Structure 1
Amino acid sequence: MLLTITTTHTPATDLGYLLHKHPARLQSFEIKSGKAHVFYPQVSEEICTCAILLDIDPVELVRGNGNPSQFALEQYVNDRPYVASSFMSSAIAKGFSSALNGKCKDKPDLVNVAIPLEIKLAVLPVGGGEDMLQRIFGPLGYGITAERHLLDPRFPEWGESRYFTVTLKNTITLQSLLSHLYVLIPVLDNDKHYWVNDEEVQKLLDKGKGWLEEHPEKEMIVRRYLRNQRSLANEALNMLLQEEPVATEDNPQKIRLHDKRLESVAAEIEASGVKTVIDLGCGEGKLLKLLMKQPQLTKIIGMDVSPRSLEIAGRRLKIDRLTEYQLEKLSLIQGALTYRDRRLEGFDLAALVEVIEHLDADRLTALEKNVFYFARPGTVIVTTPNKEWNITFTTETDKMRHSDHRFEWTRAELKNWCEQVGEAYQYSYAIKPLGDEVEGAGAPTQMAIFKKL
């Protein structure tokens, strides 16, 4: 399979500096089950083209397949040696690593310069046809030309294949281009040549930073990139959130709403003067990490129903490196919020950050009883999306920010819920907006603070 990158930027030979590959040399390097070769078919001041050619060994492909298909013959009869797939993404990461990471030793100022680029992929398997190409590359500003190939030119009656020769044009930084290709080639193919695990989530977030969170097809991109592993996809989507960054008074640079929300909750906890906190639905432990910096806290518990999330939280918090004192202060436990659990009792404060909207109505009722009646902490902090704010990114009235949300409340609906909970369990409450407010729509997130009467 062949990928070419062409520019008419002046001077066009700057492409060699950006890619960190000398136009006068053929460079080859090993990839899984084969080799990649980088060379320049044309070089001048006016136009320059760099090509990367993959040479996949079908025998090595079978020998090295650690995740064989249930269809045994697929190991021997497949398109992998001939198409742009996740092998190409691996080759981009290895062969163009400096450019992909935004580094240029000799001309560092070039990294952030948008230049005219034309990319040709021969051939690219596309699950979903030309419409999928438009859905994936169109929102990123690419001009797209796609030539679809017949299954066999000798037998046109067999119809068209899923294989395209694709040409993409855009004026963009080279780093952005390579990030798009790295993520989207296996998404279009809807397959990968290696097992997908937690590390792939971080790779996706790193390479998708600055564009994936705003892409209208991000949920589909995330699912396909992670080979439809629901837990990994949900983890990645929870981190993307479909939220715009927000600015703060102290920091005019915008930060992600997700981070702003956690910082606001942590600040509320610190101001409350409590000593013991339990984070219910702690996920990957981001709030816990902030709370560990608060010296007044003597006991911090993170609870989640997902063992995988707790494992990630443990790595984030570096539990294996904590001192004996820190280990006495922090614990992670597995449990469900919809069942009574005596481990939840006796805390000064309980936090539920973006948790309740993931529950069906009957389970939300069970959570209310377990938290406000059985556990009964002195303070409960709840954050949840404001449905009215969704008009800032969609015209669909029933569109929610995450496919796993069971509901999203308006400001009036949250107030009504708070009144019902407060009256039923003897708590007062206050509601605060989180994030920049939009006239008529409010802030993106709502925070309810309950105090035991």
Structure 2
Amino acid sequence: MHLSIATTKNRATDLGFLLHKHPDRVFESSQDRSSKVRATGFYAEAGEDRCEFCLHVEVDPVERVRGLAWSDGIAQYVEPQPFLAGSYMSHAISLALRSAMNGVATSKDAAEDARLKALVEETWPLEIVVSPVRTSRGLILRLFEPLGWNVEIDSVPLDVPGGVRETDLHTIRLAGSHAVRDALTHLYVLLPALDPQRHYFYGESEVEKLLEKSSRWLDGHPSKELIVSRYLSKSRELRETAFLRIDEGAGVERDVPEAQERQSAHDGRHQRIVQVLQAAGARRIADLGCGEGRLLSRLAELPGQLEFVGVEPSSRDLDKAKKNLSRNPSRQMDDRIKLVHGSVLYADDRLKDFDAAVLSEVVEHIEPDRLAHMERCVFGEMSPRMVVVTTPNGSYNAVFGLPAGSFRHPDHRFEWTREEAAIWAQKVSTTYGYDYDFSGIGDFVEEYGHLSHFIVFRKV
């Protein structure tokens, strides 16, 4: 991996003061053993008219997997991540240029100290080259151009013999006038956002790093939500925490539904389902594929003479649902709830005469060639007045950095794009006599849509 930062500013060698790297010396860092990263810094040019600092980053592909449990055979040694300028390059920037990124420049001489502090805040004409980056060209432009960079991209295909064709590899060339500290934070945050396959597990501290390093520019970026979603792609909870922190910092007041959707994708989805069922006046409700009873728990909070039936093919999940629904002072399950061992793939006389049925994140677990059986059993045989369906939006997977054709869960058999979901909804409504409303639920990114599709069928 390679990164170079060059400037043509007057007294260009002042760049060395900001980077804390002497032009006559070679910098080497191979910090913690767990990272297996070695960063070497040197100056390719150091003159008064132009100065260029280079950072060469190497990762030992054998040491990085030593002691880990891998199931992909030799692929662990030849997979490309150790050679891509993503999270490893971001980590190397932190190792080698942390003080520069934090805007630290000091001197014991008072006059020189004042001059260096002024240099930290000044904009510099900068030329940056970073390579190789694995992502789409459009995403590179979308993330860097709004920050004032002129972007040039050189691309080569990444083809692994006998393997699946991956996206191209790019050399990114950036030109623009920025404070050096800002330029480094752009790279530190956006490189992992471009290719969010991390080389480490992360927790709440990652939210702090993101907000701290991007504090001078993220709030005004038009793709702010996309950056946060990709930077924290492995953890829904951390993304929601980051969004709330950003909103609080900006003094944004959100209406209740949107705020609650941010708190949890599950809670937001369930809240919306409950609102739709209440508005329809549904009194007999079937949760088809109820799992461990999370939606039933939410429905049980509703007052009145209601009836809820949870249908689940997994006996283990039914046992968990019964325990979860009995977590109350009486340690008894609400007598309005019944749990049924069954499947949406088989007609069941116990499920007749219901006002509403819910298929929340269920249909994607069904083999495509068996969907017709589910449609016949639910929309034909059961035939409730309303059916609420939520299912993952396959287009949104790009936000998580998932390769094309990959799914969010190993048990998913498909994940529809908006167009594919709309075609399915139209087919079902025509075949079984339903009208439908098609919308989305969860986090929204303009290019990809909502996290999940939200479809409400109503019997004509």
Q: TM-score, normalised by structure 2?
A: 0.53
Deviations 1:30-85 (A, max 9, x none): 14113111110100000000011112112212226x6x666444321112343212
> Partner of 1:91 in structure 2?
92
Match of 1:140 in 2: 147
* Corresponding residue for residue 30 of structure 2: 30
Alignment correspondent of 2:207: 201
- Whether 1:256 aligns to 2:265 is no
Aligned to 2:5: 5
Q: Is the CA contact 1:42–1:48 (under 8 Å) kept in the aligned structure 2?
A: yes
**Contact 1:148–1:161 (8 Å) recurs in 2:** no
Q: Which has the larger radius of gyration?
A: 2
CA spacing shift, 1:69–1:113, aligned 2, 3 Å: farther
What corresponds to 1:217 in structure 2? 223
The alignment status of 1:62 with 2:65, answered yes or no, reads yes
| Compared CA separation, residues 337 and 143, structure 1 to 2 (3 A) | closer
Tell me if the contact between 1:338 and 1:363 (Cα under 8 Å) persists in the aligned partners. Answer: no
Q: What CA RMSD, in Å, does the superposition of the two structures yield over aligned residues?
A: 4.2
Deviations 1:79-137 (A, max 9, x none): 234321211111111211111111111411111101111100121222x2x11111111
- In the alignment, the residues of structure 1 paired with residue 193 and residue 269 of structure 2 have an alpha-carbon distance, to the nearest angstrom, of 36
**Residue of structure 2 aligned with 1:172, choices 159, 171, 178:** 178
Task: State the distance in 1 between where 2:132 and 2:79 align.
Answer: 14
Return the alpha-carbon distance in structure 2 between the equivalents of residues 400 and 159 of structure 1.
Answer: 32
Q: Match for 1:189: what amino acid? A: D
Query: How far apart in 2 are the matches of 1:115 and 1:101?
Result: 16
Which residue identity is paired with 1:92?
A: I
Task: Please give the alpha-carbon distance, in whole angstroms, between the structure 1 residues aligned to 2:121 and 2:440.
Answer: 35
SS at match of 2:130: strand
| Alignment deviations for residues 378-424 of structure 1 (CA, whole Å, 9 cap, x no partner) | xxxxxxxxxxxxxxxxxxxx999964899xxxxxxxxxxxxxxxxxx
Letter in 2 for 1:134: L
What residue in structure 1 maps to residue 332 of structure 2?
none
In structure 1, list runs of 5 or more residues that go unmatched: 244-254, 262-279, 285-303, 307-335, 340-355, 373-397, 407-453
Q: Secondary structure at the match of 1:237?
A: helix
Distance 1:8 1:182 in 2: 23
Residue 13 of structure 1 aligns to a residue whose secondary structure is helix
TM-score (norm 1): 0.53
Identical-pair percentage: 33
User: Is the alpha carbon distance of 1:229 and 1:73 closer, same or farther for their aligned partners in structure 2, counting shifts above 3 Å?
Assistant: farther
Paired residues, what number? 281
Are residues 1:184 and 2:190 paired?
yes
1:123 and 2:132 matched: yes
Match of 1:104 in 2: 105
Q: State how far apart, in whole Å, the 2-side matches of 1:44 and 1:363 are.
A: 72
Please give the per-residue CA displacement for 1:275-306, whole angstroms capped at 9, x wherever unaligned. xxxxx98x99xxxxxxxxxxxxxxxxxxx999
Q: Distance in 1 between matches of 2:66 and 2:45?
A: 36
String of CA shifts for 1:183-224, please: whole Å, max 9, x gaps. Answer: 111111221100121111111111121222222222221121
Question: For 1:312-331, what per-residue CA distance to the aligned partner results, in whole angstroms no more than 9, with x for missing partners?
Answer: xxxxxxxxxxxxxxxxxxxx
- Check the 8 A contact 2:87/2:191 in 1, yes or no: yes
Moved over 4 A (4+): 158-161, 336-339, 356-367, 369-372, 398-402
